[in-house]
Amino acid sequence: MNASAGPSGTSSDSSPGANLLAGRVALVTGGGAGIGLGMAAAMARHGASVVLASRRSEVGEAAAAGLRAEGLQASWVRCDVTVPDEITAAVDSTVEEQGRLDCLIHNALDGSASGPLENATDGDWAALAATSVRASYDCARIVHPHLQATGGSFVLLTSAAGMEGSAARPLYAMAKAAQRGFAKGLAAEWGPDGIRVNCIAPVAMTPALAGAIRHDPSLGERLVARTPLGRIGDPADDVGPVAVFLAGDLSRHVTGQTLVVDGGGFRGL
Amino acid sequence: MPDLVVHIPAVTDGPVAVNDQEPHAWAAACEAPMVEAIGVARTIGSLADPSPDTGTRRLVWILPTTALGGSAGFVGVGAAGEGIRALAKGAAKQWGPSCTTTVLAVSPALLFAGPGPSDEGSLSAPALGGPGDVVTDVASLVDLLADPRNRFTTGGTLVADGGTWMAP
């Protein structure tokens, strides 16, 4: 299997020279690891000051320190996205310390319900919905004035599963699809405010996916087999540039869209 | 045991901007319809497979086209709709021939009692002249889906809005 590996956010060998996000400030929920950290690292390498928002300080602090060790601007703030007051505190502290907020990427997700629908519990859905759909709504309401002030960008992480459905994880697919629907409506609503709203649907080698592949090696083989580009993406080097694009001026006329960053595995849009 | 279940998730009237939408109103617009839909799917999934005599069971969700394109003032309705469309796909993949699923996406004008989402995404009027009629245009499609000859469609979205939404 030709899968990209390595700890997310630690590679810097593919950073383009242009500082596309110089002077910009981005907040990434679930930014302490995986795709969240990869996107944050890519944005920081383009000159942004990034704030990693996550629940666990031992993970988030270390991730921010790792980026600072590269000479990048990064900090960590505690944020459980199921608690609106914590989102507010994270956003407010970012604006107080950085003076502005240009981009919020809501990437955090909890809950891993799988299996037959008839076995799904109310709790399975509640955990997924709280961190995906409800947290998208809470993040949006809280960050709106700050993004309006900067003409900013709001980005939600969704999944191809939300577009093609999933037999294995139907509730996960449902939650991700709902976030995509949310983004489409919000793009229409926030366009007049000068705020863009888009989704990224990635497949990348996160610690969670690596763990799943260790548990079921055929999963990695199946993922690569369905991927025309022949490998599983890297959070920083493959997904990160798309976050940079959506956070910056190059995407100034793009809103309400979903960018699938999975090496071509899903081509149904 | 039903051969056909049609579920029309409730839609909340509006419009209301997300910024002005209180959490309880958001829950009613977005979260409650999805919880309802999961309950319907869970119930259908727990039923025994249909007998060879009755053939395939069918589950049809009727949603506004708002789910497809999104609409200002109806963000929660659109989010719920996209969620339910994904649920229909996942259920179709899980259930196979024992129960097929279809989403009928209809003009918002047929589902909203008050001011509903506009067709803001369309530059032209419906090709067939209007939003259609529930009985003659939508119920007839449900009949078509329930026909025993309809054996090979599942998980898809059938748009029945008179030709406003033509993508893809």
Residues 6 or more apart whose Cβ sits within 8 Å of residue A52: A28, A31, A32, A36, A37, A40, A60, A63, A64, A74, A75, A76, A77
Give pLDDT, residue A129: 96
pLDDT tens-digit series, residues A25-55: 999 999 999 999 999 999 999 999 999 999 9
Q: What percent of chain B has pLDDT over 70?
A: 94
Q: What count of other Cβ atoms lies within 10 Å of the Cβ of residue A89? A: 16
**ipTM of the prediction:** 0.95
When pLDDT is averaged across residues B58-63 and rounded to a whole number, the result is 96
CA-based nearest residue to A158, from A35, A25, A17, A3: A35
Q: Is B18 close to A167, i.e. CB distance below 8 A?
A: no
Rg (CA), chain B: 16
Residue B108 pLDDT level (bands cut at 50, 70, 90): very high
Q: Is B93 close to A167, i.e. CB distance below 8 A?
A: yes
DSSP string, A16-79: -S--TTTT-EEEEETTTSHHHHHHHHHHHHTT-EEEEEES-HHHHHHHHHHHHHTT-EEEEEE-
CA-based nearest residue to A109, from A81, A138, A131: A131
Q: Which residue in B has a C-alpha nearest to residue A173's C-alpha? A: B86
Phi/psi region, residue A193 (left: phi>0; alpha: psi -120 to 50; beta: rest), is alpha
Residue A255 pLDDT level (bands cut at 50, 70, 90): very high
Q: Which residue in B has a C-alpha nearest to residue A179's C-alpha? A: B79
Domain of residue B72 covers 4-160
Furthest CA-CA distance within chain B: 53
When pLDDT is averaged across residues A120-130 and rounded to a whole number, the result is 92
Give pLDDT, residue B94: 94
Q: Is B84 close to A174, i.e. CB distance below 8 A?
A: yes
Rounded Cα distance, A50 and A6, in Å: 21
**CB < 8 Å to A181, chain B:** 67, 70, 78-83
Q: What CATH code is carried by the domain that includes residue B143? A: 3.40.50.720
Is residue B67, in this structure, part of any structural domain at all?
yes
Is residue B146, in this structure, part of any structural domain at all?
yes
Is residue B167, in this structure, part of any structural domain at all?
no
Q: What percent of chain A has pLDDT over 90?
A: 83
Q: Compute the nearest-CA separation of B143 from chain A (Å).
A: 25
Q: Is A177 close to B30, i.e. CB distance below 8 A?
A: no
When pLDDT is averaged across residues A124-128 and rounded to a whole number, the result is 93
Is residue B107, in this structure, part of any structural domain at all?
yes
Residues 6 or more apart whose Cβ sits within 8 Å of residue B113: B13
CA-based nearest residue to A150, from A27, A18, A45: A27
Element (H, E) at B24: helix B23-26
When pLDDT is averaged across residues B123-128 and rounded to a whole number, the result is 83
When pLDDT is averaged across residues A127-144 and rounded to a whole number, the result is 97
Q: Is A169 close to B79, i.e. CB distance below 8 A?
A: no
Q: Are A131 and A82 in contact (CB under 8 A)?
A: yes
Q: Which residue in A has a C-alpha nearest to residue B78's C-alpha? A: A181
Q: Is A185 close to B88, i.e. CB distance below 8 A?
A: no
Look at residue A230 and give its three-state secondary structure: coil
Chain pair A-B, CB pairs under 8 angstroms: 146
Tally of domains in chain B: 1
Q: Is the pLDDT confidence value at B56 over 90?
A: no
Q: Is the pLDDT confidence value at A3 over 50?
A: no
Is residue B165, in this structure, part of any structural domain at all?
no
Give pLDDT, residue A1: 39
Q: Which residue in B has a C-alpha nearest to residue A269's C-alpha? A: B168
Residue B121 pLDDT level (bands cut at 50, 70, 90): low
Give pLDDT, residue A120: 87
Q: Measure Cα distances from A260 to A55, A160, A264 in Å.
A: 27, 7, 8
Give pLDDT, residue B46: 87
Burial grade of A71 (CB within 10 A; 0-12, 13-18, 19 or more): exposed
Entry pTM = 0.94
Q: Are B77 and B117 in contact (CB under 8 A)?
A: yes
When pLDDT is averaged across residues A107-129 and rounded to a whole number, the result is 88
Q: What sign results for the dihedral spanned by CA atoms A78, A84, A87, A92? A: negative
pLDDT tens-digit series, residues A203-227: 999 988 898 899 888 999 999 999 9
Q: Is the pLDDT confidence value at A10 over 50?
A: no
Q: Compute the nearest-CA separation of B26 from chain A (Å).
A: 8
CATH architecture of residue range(s) A25-206+235-261: 3-Layer(aba) Sandwich (3.40)
Residue B120 pLDDT level (bands cut at 50, 70, 90): low
**CB < 8 Å to A166, chain B:** 86, 89-90, 93
Please state at what angle helix A170-190 crosses helix A122-129, rounded to 10 degrees.
30
**CB < 8 Å to A267, chain B:** none
Is residue B166, in this structure, part of any structural domain at all?
no
Q: Which residues of A are designated catalytic?
A: 172
Q: Are A109 and A30 in contact (CB under 8 A)?
A: yes
Give pLDDT, residue A4: 44
Q: What angle do CA A268, A30, A59 make, to 5 degrees?
A: 135
A104, A122, A136, A137, best to mutate vs chain B, most B CBs in 10 Å:
A137
When pLDDT is averaged across residues A66-80 and rounded to a whole number, the result is 98
pLDDT tens-digit series, residues B16-48: 999 999 999 999 999 999 999 999 999 998 887
Domain ranges of chain A: 25-206+235-261
**Backbone dihedral angles phi then psi of residue A67, each to the nearest 5 degrees:** -70, -40
